[in-house]
A = this chain, B = another copy of it.
């Protein structure tokens, strides 16, 4: 009887998820999870978990979000594997870093505080890995922010941070939050209109000239699945 693959010692594999969102005041924030006290440096970390033998990375990442910070139903994307031999003092653990970007109302209950989990918090992202997280999680957050900026550079709203219908100013606010810098309204408009359809409706109730409403262009049944 020959030994099977799994009988040989091999690295454990984990996932860590940088769950980003846009706050009410228009900044990128990352969802953090408070670690046990036995670890000295970096009490805050990204939600993560070990990958079980029969699940995909996506499923493990969703499980980490659900168990550690009480969030469900996202679409985490792979960033890269962090594989330094000494990155985790519990043993030989490689981590597949993931990123997701969701509307902030998915992270909050009706009172404005986080739903089920006390040891979770939302914190604005600081530049250049100054977030002071455990392990190599500062680096993961940096990579995650780059990913989000790339995703929004050429498309109106790939992660559906706003609703079906929106004005160009509402869309611009989202882009400015993700990119971390302001847009000029006319430049932004000319960039985006090519990817948008007019609904025919107009915004109401606000002062000033009402804005046209737009929706995302649907090339081939966009309703089927999010990006």
Contacts and interface: CB of A to CB of B under 8 A. Distances in A.
Nearest to A55: B85
Contacts of A96: 81
Interface residues of A, number: 30
A80 to B, nearest CB: 5
Give the number of copies in the complex.
2
Nearest to A9: B53
Interface in A71-129: 78, 80-81, 83-85, 90-94, 96
Interface stretch (A10-18, A31-39, A183-191): A10-18
Contacts of A206: none
Given A78-B81, A81-B78, A13 B94 contact: yes
A193 B83 CA distance: 37
A211 to B, nearest CB: 38
Contact of A56 (B6, B50, B85): B85
A5 B91 CA distance: 7
A203 interface: no
A174 interface: no
Contact of A81 (B4, B57, B92): B57
